[in-house]
Structure 1
Amino acid sequence: MQTGYYAATAGMVAQFNRMDTIASNLANANTTGYKRDQLITGDFVRLFKEAQSELPIQNQTEAAAQYLNRSLSRVPQITDAYTDQSLGSMQQTGNTFDMALSKEGQFFAVSTPQGVRLTRDGTFTLSDQGKLVNKQGHEVLSTDYFQTKTAITLNPGDSIVTIDKNGQISTNVPGSNQMIANKKILVVEPQNIRMLMKEGDNLYVPDSTDPLTPLADSGSVMQGFTERSNVNAVNEMISLVEANRLVGMYQKAMDTQMNDMNRDAIEKIATTRR
């Protein structure tokens, strides 16, 4: 069997994975606070430069070099994946409990049945019990949550609710314009943002070793705004078309390897010379 067939197959699988990622990005283009995913494809030249001085067999034999060459000739493959945490555009809503974070790498924290999760989606509301919750009904955490285990609770009848740039909530004294401080929204900045894992519902699972220390002065909370996704639909569509064309090219290469070249070889080998 020709090695070119396996090379084309590997390339096609890499493009299928790429298409799945692009489709997910496009599906979430209008999801508040969504961050696009990106795949990194390794090619022969890159892999060879990384491993040309290191052979997989300790004695550095010719057999080891042959093994390395065979491994590297297996072509394009997905070598890494990451989430682009760049900021999306800010959209003003005017809603009291809509919040956005204007700095990259900062997150709100919510309490779920599976534990504390992080999110950039600040579309919050008040529950029937007056608790500040996200779209899924998970409680939004305050800076003192890990000490008190109590939720952020507001009176639905409060006529004035303000949230400053550091997440400090203030409400008015009933019947007056005098403001009193309530709880402060927990805003965290993970120590290693690449360790975050997407869980669904626009939530991230933090690293278990990260203490999630509250930011005293985050300076990024914007009341009455939401952050749009950082997905550029035009760029994603261009990438999708490119990946689709590459799949067609790999398919043609596979067909050439399996049919045209094999048929030509069989016809020549089968020719009887007298």
Structure 2
Amino acid sequence: MQTGYYSSAAGMVTQFNRLDTIANNLANVNTIGYKEDNVVVGDFMRIFKEARDELPNANQTKEGAAFLNRTLTKSPQVVDSFTDFSVGDLQKTSNTLDFALSKDNLFFAVQTPQGIRFTRDGSFTLNEEGKLVNKQGYEVLGTDYKTSNNGITLNQEDVVVKVDKNGQMYTNVPDSFTMVENSKLLVIQPENLSELKKDSDNLYSLVNSDAFDVVEDSGAVSQGFIEKSNVNAVKMMTQLIETNRLIGMYQKAMDTQMNDMNKDAIEKIASKS
């Protein structure tokens, strides 16, 4: 059996998976609030050091040696994936209903048909009913969402809308410049970031939907700004080139295994017959 061929094929599949992640990052380089994804590629020695105490046979036994000999031929593989939640650059828009969060691990919340979802994209608008919604039309939630069962609603008379660093909204009394408290944007922090999963429409969900803390005094809300993607395009392009080169190397190794080595073996057998 030509184990080198199968190892090369598996290595190529690993790089294809990595390529998918890189391509998705590059496709979202201009997506508001998008967070960069990454994969961790592990080799056998690293995986072995982490798991050797859980191997099915003791190392010093004959069975253990056979197990290791079989496993040594295995190729690098994707052993983990993660999302970089660091803050992207803030871009000024001067739009009253644009909001950005200037600190890590904080999110706005919206109500979807599938339940509460979380986002870093604070580019909001008002719908025909005066409700504050995101680009997909989902209602943006306020801190009173459990009691009101509704999102944030602004009256047509609310000409002036100001929001402080904690998400507290202030609107003007009709026909005056007197500002009064209105709703407050719900800003949350997941208890465990590893349980935060990417959903569609640049949203996130939690494995346990209630596993988050409401941050009353975040000091992170910036009105009139949006948070740009934290994808580093130069780094992604470098990784793209590197991955394509690795795929080419694995392809060449497969070709060598199947063609050159087989041809050499056949010629040697033929010369002896």
Normalising by the smaller structure, the TM-score range is over 0.9
In structure 2, the residue matched to 1:238 is 238
CA contact (8 A) 2:101 2:222 kept: yes
Shift of 1:51: 3.0
CA contact (8 A) 1:171 1:182 kept: yes
**How far apart in 2 are the matches of 1:5 and 1:244?**
19
In structure 2, the residue matched to 1:96 is 96
In structure 2, the residue matched to 1:45 is 45
**RMSD value, Cα:** 1.5
TM-score with structure 2 setting the length = 0.96
Q: Report how many residues are paired.
A: 273
Shift of 1:148: 2.0
In structure 2, the residue matched to 1:15 is 15
The amino acid of 1:144's aligned partner reads D
In structure 1, the residue matched to 2:123 is 123
The amino acid of 2:130's aligned partner reads G
Superposed CA offset, 1:25-71 (max 9, x none): 00000000000100000012212222344422379732133213322
The amino acid of 2:196's aligned partner reads L
TM-score with structure 1 setting the length = 0.95
CA contact (8 A) 2:103 2:220 kept: yes
**How far apart in 2 are the matches of 1:222 and 1:50?**
44
Superposed CA offset, 1:131-154 (max 9, x none): 000000000001110222122110
**How far apart in 2 are the matches of 1:75 and 1:22?**
21
CA contact (8 A) 2:191 2:213 kept: no
**How far apart in 2 are the matches of 1:195 and 1:83?**
11
* 1:167/1:72 CA distance change after superposition, 3 Å: farther
CA contact (8 A) 2:34 2:202 kept: yes
Shift of 1:214: 1.4
CA contact (8 A) 1:96 1:224 kept: yes
CA contact (8 A) 2:4 2:73 kept: no
In structure 1, the residue matched to 2:184 is 184
**How far apart in 2 are the matches of 1:72 and 1:56?**
15
Structure 2 stretches of 5 or more lacking a match?
A: none
**How far apart in 2 are the matches of 1:101 and 1:161?**
18
The amino acid of 1:208's aligned partner reads N
CA contact (8 A) 2:59 2:65 kept: no
CA contact (8 A) 1:121 1:227 kept: yes
The amino acid of 1:152's aligned partner reads I
Greater shift, 228-237 or 151-160, is seen at 151-160
In structure 1, the residue matched to 2:207 is 207
In structure 1, the residue matched to 2:170 is 170
* 1:49/1:259 CA distance change after superposition, 3 Å: same
**How far apart in 2 are the matches of 1:69 and 1:168?**
63
**How far apart in 2 are the matches of 1:57 and 1:76?**
22
